[in-house]
Amino acid sequence: MSKKWVYLFTEIEEAEKQVGGVWDAVRGLLGGKGANLFEMTRIGLPVPPGFTVTTEACNAYYASGRQFPEGMWEQEVAAMKAIEKVAGKGFGAGDNPLLVSCRSGSKESMPGMMDTVLNIGLNDVTVETLGKLTDNERFAWDAYRRLVEGFGKVVLDIPDTDFEHALHGMKEKLGVKLDTELKTQDLKELTSQYKAIVRRHTGAEFPQDPYDQLRLATEAVFRSWMGKRAVDYRKHEGIPETLGTAVNIVTMVFGNMGNTSGTGVAFTRNPSTGENAVYGEYLINAQGEDVVAGIRTPEKVSVMEKDLPEAYAEFKRITDILEKHYKNMQDVEFTIERGRLWMLQTRNGKRTAAAAIKIAVDMANEGLITKKEAINRVTPDNVNSLLHPQFDMNAKKQAAKEGKLLAKGVNASPGAAVGRAYFDADLAEEKSKEGPVVMVRPFTKPDDVHGMIAAKGILTSEGGATSHAAVVARQFGRPCIVGAGSLKIDLERRIMTADGVTVKEGDWISVDGGTGEAFVGQIPTVAPKFEEQTDLITLLSWADEIAATEGMRKPGKNDSPTRGLQVWANADYPADARRARQFGAQGIGLCRTEHMFFETERLPIVQRMILADTSEERTAALNELLPYQRADFDGLFEAMTGLPVIIRLIDPPLHEFMPDEEALLEEVIEMRVKGETAGLAEKESLLAAIRGMHESNPMMGLRGIRLSIVMPEIVEMQVRAIFEAASDVKLRGFEPHVEVMIPLTGTVRELEVIQPKLERIAKQVVSEKGTSVDYKFGTMIEIPRACVTSYEIANLAEFYSFGTNDLTQMTFGYSRDDAERNFLLKYVEDGILPKNPFQVIDREGVGALMDICVEQGRKTRPGLEVGICGEHGGDPDSIEWCHLIGNNYVSCSPFRVPVARLAAAQAAVKHAK
């Protein structure tokens, strides 16, 4: 006996038996659409009789060089006979002709990618019978001409245009505009012309035998699996080719058989808002394609209650059953044929972010799903999109139509921003007092930060998703596009141009950080408020609960007692910290002290400190800085009372604090050429000093702990400021938990040199203040060598925080300032790298080193606290990795905290045993 390739809708048990009864496997065998038809049949819902040719048959078809596998066609014919019997109709015969549709249906939805043939079973004889039976000759001929056209295009590969020409010619001859104006006679004539087209192209008649039609349509669906559109779509979406497609053969039912008939599509809840009320459209006395074609305006589905109260009651009963059965909001298609309701499709409905969250929370509250399930019903992107202002979609489309799209770049930080374009940080800051500003630069540097903060959005022509501009933008929740390569910014003429569009400095532009599109002019936006998003707040509170309980680590090689993965935030200022706390952060994982050095009144002191010739001069400048730093920390500790705050000691190379070398060089040359001597010597010596600090590869240079060893005065001041502030805050009744983080450690001996010195200062300051402060000293892990010598480093470090930006840089040897522009984006596009490793942790390489690091570190120090404070801390896939290797927390920018909370919970659920 040959294998079973064909299943009647009533044979779901047999199908389950074949694949072991798992729903996912059933979907694999029968396709998504098919499996749902089987399932509805099983639970007694009215599905028109039909059967499905399995995906296995499709795969066998390809495996044998495009031949139906043995027995398949015979099974299909037998299934057809079974349906004839059930339906009491005849396929191509008798006074009640059976018509069927033939549709593809893969496991994964591939909307519009594959082919469908309707009305199979019509021929020159049955068309007449159907006309009589329905008392509607025109309907019968219209169906027949559609079959010939559809069959011609899909099965016989005849170009669309041939049929369109014929239709067009007919309408022109008759002087009519709409297809509906064609009379029965016209449609008969058109059918005849269509059949002639078929004859011309194939040299044969349109097949009159319905079984020929069925066989050829089945094969056409198989063939469409390897069609160019489908192949491209699968490649883009990452759907494996091995899935194959099923073929669904379903008895045709007709909603256009009078006023007791109708057809519609509906969602069981509102897919836009999530409101628990059926949402959809229907048309009385119409076919499915009429709803789509827009010839008649459909009614709200609720109108059906008046028109067809019995059918509506049945419809309500069925949608209730479906929601309870699938435990998810359903998107259904249905037809009422002479008062009888038929379900043609059901599937989980697509929904907006807001709806996704509301539905998940409501369903959990209704007891339909568990909180864990609710967590998995929402994507991190859903959460993210609720937190950033969005452009009005229609206004954006309109702007694009009007040619106002200026440029496209990397979508570095989501959200919508509208403002006047300014080309430098000072001007942006100044003009922001008059109205909203978008800062536009070729790229940004640390001393541009004040302008970026003042701006509503940022646009750069260079850099990648982790460039300075991108990182800072995400930190401060500013919409940002980077690397808009087609944009030419002329800083001298104060204009920018792209694709022939020119924008003057001060002109309005709109920046969509979610899509990477920049527009000329103002596009209206919609802005959300976190505290008003009660459903989101509820969902995230469940997420925290689940991460803490389900995420509790089982004993394993990287094990450490923990409450599961927490979410902390990167925040440099008290205001950021307060926002992070509002977003649910359970600590500060990274406070970058150097950002404080860039503020206007401090920078000259910092520069004086750097240029000091003696340790005394340096100390004097540092003493001036100390009160500033202390004040910064004071606010932070107060805002985060009761929660841990990790403060990273100075990290960047000192030349970042100095004036731009090239601008200074230009100035000096100009003065020399012009013979200006006043102030020249001073500028020359400053230039020489800056050149002395020049490094060929500053990312691998004198910074972090290296700088602290060569020039310990700075970190000594910082540690003093930290503990003076912590003591003061403690004395005011708050609970500071201080963690001092030393960056860029590569060998334990570096820590041995610097850490004890700093611990002594901490002890001394706290005792001077006459109080006690809870604190730890630890290190950032961002050097590959630190990962493989973690067994030593953990002897000193009391906590680790992965700096995955730098760790990725060093592990790959990719400069993050250059790589994206030069080759990295191409690598991702060409599939050399599956993802941009600066956005998603590279588990094979960087991740493997992290794993080694945690394992070694916890062997040396079993309770070692491990976190991550790189850009990856807000990325769901990376958060899952952090869960897997036993991190205690991830830290990300405040605006990513809600996303990370969800991702942490999802990871916990996914990997709970």
C-alpha dist (Å) from residue 53 to 15, 33, 58, 186: 11, 12, 8, 37
Q: How far apart are CA 247 and CA 763, in angstroms?
A: 75
Q: Binding segment for a second copy among 527-535, 547-555, 591-599, 782-790 (CB under 8 A)?
A: 782-790
Q: Binding segment for a second copy among 5-13, 543-551, 578-586, 746-754 (CB under 8 A)?
A: 746-754
| Residue placing its CB nearer to a second copy in the complex, 498 or 783 | 783
Least spacing, CB of residue 366 vs a second copy, in Å:
47
Judged by CB under 8 A, the residue of 268, 270, 558, 809 near a second copy is: 809
Is 746 among the residues that bind a second copy (CB under 8 A)? Answer: yes
| Residue placing its CB nearer to a second copy in the complex, 251 or 801 | 801
Least spacing, CB of residue 243 vs a second copy, in Å:
24
Does residue 648 sit in helix, strand or coil?
strand
Residues 891, 570 contacting (CB under 8 angstroms): yes
Is 823 among the residues that bind a second copy (CB under 8 A)? Answer: yes
| Residue placing its CB nearer to a second copy in the complex, 613 or 830 | 830
**How many residues sit in the footprint of a second copy (CB under 8 A)?**
56
Where b means 16+ CB within 10 Å and e means fewer, 490-514 reads: eeeeebbbbeebebebeebbbbbbb
Does residue 151 sit in helix, strand or coil?
helix
| Residue placing its CB nearer to a second copy in the complex, 566 or 809 | 809
Give the tokens for residue 461: 């022509």
Please count the other Cβ atoms lying within 10 Å of the Cβ belonging to residue 439: 33
Is 434 among the residues that bind a second copy (CB under 8 A)? Answer: no
Cβ neighbours for 340, distance < 8 A, ≥ 6 positions apart: 46, 311
Helices (H) and strands (E) in the chain, counts: 38, 31
* Burial (0-12, 13-18, 19+ Cβ within 10 Å), 697: exposed
Q: How far apart are CA 153 and CA 163, in angstroms?
A: 9
**Nearest Cα to 387, choosing from 910, 902, 880, 883?**
902
Judged by CB under 8 A, the residue of 753, 761, 828, 912 near a second copy is: 753
Q: Binding segment for a second copy among 129-137, 169-177, 281-289, 809-817 (CB under 8 A)?
A: 809-817
Least spacing, CB of residue 820 vs a second copy, in Å:
11
Where b means 16+ CB within 10 Å and e means fewer, 73-91 reads: bebbeebbebbbeebebbb
Q: Binding segment for a second copy among 21-29, 446-454, 555-563, 829-837 (CB under 8 A)?
A: 829-837
Judged by CB under 8 A, the residue of 448, 594, 817, 865 near a second copy is: 817
Q: Binding segment for a second copy among 338-346, 622-630, 715-723, 743-751 (CB under 8 A)?
A: 743-751
Q: How far apart are CA 841 and CA 844, in angstroms?
A: 9
Is 680 among the residues that bind a second copy (CB under 8 A)? Answer: no
Least spacing, CB of residue 746 vs a second copy, in Å:
5
Least spacing, CB of residue 888 vs a second copy, in Å:
24
Does residue 888 sit in helix, strand or coil?
coil
Q: How far apart are CA 186 and CA 529, in angstroms?
A: 59
Give the tokens for residue 678: 């006043």
C-alpha dist (Å) from residue 197 to 162, 164, 200, 202, 241: 7, 11, 5, 8, 34
Q: Binding segment for a second copy among 199-207, 507-515, 664-672, 717-725 (CB under 8 A)?
A: 664-672
Is 749 among the residues that bind a second copy (CB under 8 A)? Answer: yes
| Residue placing its CB nearer to a second copy in the complex, 304 or 748 | 748
Cβ neighbours for 328, distance < 8 A, ≥ 6 positions apart: 348, 349, 363, 369, 377
Beta bridge partners of 97: 90
Q: How remote is the C-alpha of 655 from its chain's centroid?
A: 37
Helix, strand, coil content of the chain in percent (nearest 5): 50, 15, 35
| Residue placing its CB nearer to a second copy in the complex, 626 or 664 | 664
**Nearest Cα to 352, choosing from 360, 344, 364?**
360
| Residue placing its CB nearer to a second copy in the complex, 387 or 472 | 472
Is 537 among the residues that bind a second copy (CB under 8 A)? Answer: no
| Residue placing its CB nearer to a second copy in the complex, 181 or 752 | 752
Is 822 among the residues that bind a second copy (CB under 8 A)? Answer: yes
Is 803 among the residues that bind a second copy (CB under 8 A)? Answer: no
| Residue placing its CB nearer to a second copy in the complex, 355 or 825 | 825
Q: Binding segment for a second copy among 410-418, 528-536, 605-613, 822-830 (CB under 8 A)?
A: 822-830
Per CB under 8 A, contacts with a second copy among 783-802 are 783-785, 788-789, 792
Is 560 among the residues that bind a second copy (CB under 8 A)? Answer: no
Per CB under 8 A, contacts with a second copy among 830-889 are 830-833, 842, 844-846, 848-849
Q: How far apart are the first and last CA of the chain?
A: 42
Per CB under 8 A, contacts with a second copy among 692-721 are 695-702, 706, 709-710
Residues catalogued as catalytic: 468, 869
Is 104 among the residues that bind a second copy (CB under 8 A)? Answer: no
Least spacing, CB of residue 469 vs a second copy, in Å:
14
Least spacing, CB of residue 822 vs a second copy, in Å:
4
Torsion angle of C-alpha atoms 288, 293, 295, 298, degrees rounded to 10: 50
Is 670 among the residues that bind a second copy (CB under 8 A)? Answer: yes
835 phi/psi in degrees, rounded to 5: -140, 165
Cβ neighbours for 109, distance < 8 A, ≥ 6 positions apart: 32, 347
Least spacing, CB of residue 616 vs a second copy, in Å:
21
Is 673 among the residues that bind a second copy (CB under 8 A)? Answer: yes
Residues 807, 849 contacting (CB under 8 angstroms): yes
Least spacing, CB of residue 743 vs a second copy, in Å:
11
Cβ neighbours for 667, distance < 8 A, ≥ 6 positions apart: 683
| Residue placing its CB nearer to a second copy in the complex, 672 or 732 | 672
Is 818 among the residues that bind a second copy (CB under 8 A)? Answer: yes
| Residue placing its CB nearer to a second copy in the complex, 628 or 827 | 827
Q: Binding segment for a second copy among 201-209, 354-362, 390-398, 816-824 (CB under 8 A)?
A: 816-824
- Which 8-state DSSP code applies to residue 90? B
Stated as kind and residue range, the H or E segment containing 475 is: helix 468-475
Give the tokens for residue 511: 């920046």
**Nearest Cα to 594, choosing from 434, 693, 717, 766?**
717
Least spacing, CB of residue 811 vs a second copy, in Å:
5
Judged by CB under 8 A, the residue of 211, 233, 734, 812 near a second copy is: 812
| Residue placing its CB nearer to a second copy in the complex, 176 or 753 | 753
Ranges of H-type helices in 204-278 = 210-224, 228-237
Polymer length of the chain: 913
Is 453 among the residues that bind a second copy (CB under 8 A)? Answer: no
Least spacing, CB of residue 591 vs a second copy, in Å:
22
Torsion angle of C-alpha atoms 702, 705, 710, 712, degrees rounded to 10: 140
Least spacing, CB of residue 810 vs a second copy, in Å:
5
Sign of the alpha-carbon torsion through 266, 271, 273, 276: positive
- Which 8-state DSSP code applies to residue 553? P
Residues 820, 839 contacting (CB under 8 angstroms): no
| Residue placing its CB nearer to a second copy in the complex, 321 or 665 | 665
Is 566 among the residues that bind a second copy (CB under 8 A)? Answer: no
Is 254 among the residues that bind a second copy (CB under 8 A)? Answer: no
Catalog residues that contact a second copy under the rule CB under 8 A. 662, 665-666, 669-670, 673-674, 695-702, 706, 709-710, 744, 746-747, 749-750, 753, 782-785, 788-789, 792, 806, 809-815, 817-819, 822-823, 826-827, 830-833, 842, 844-846, 848-849
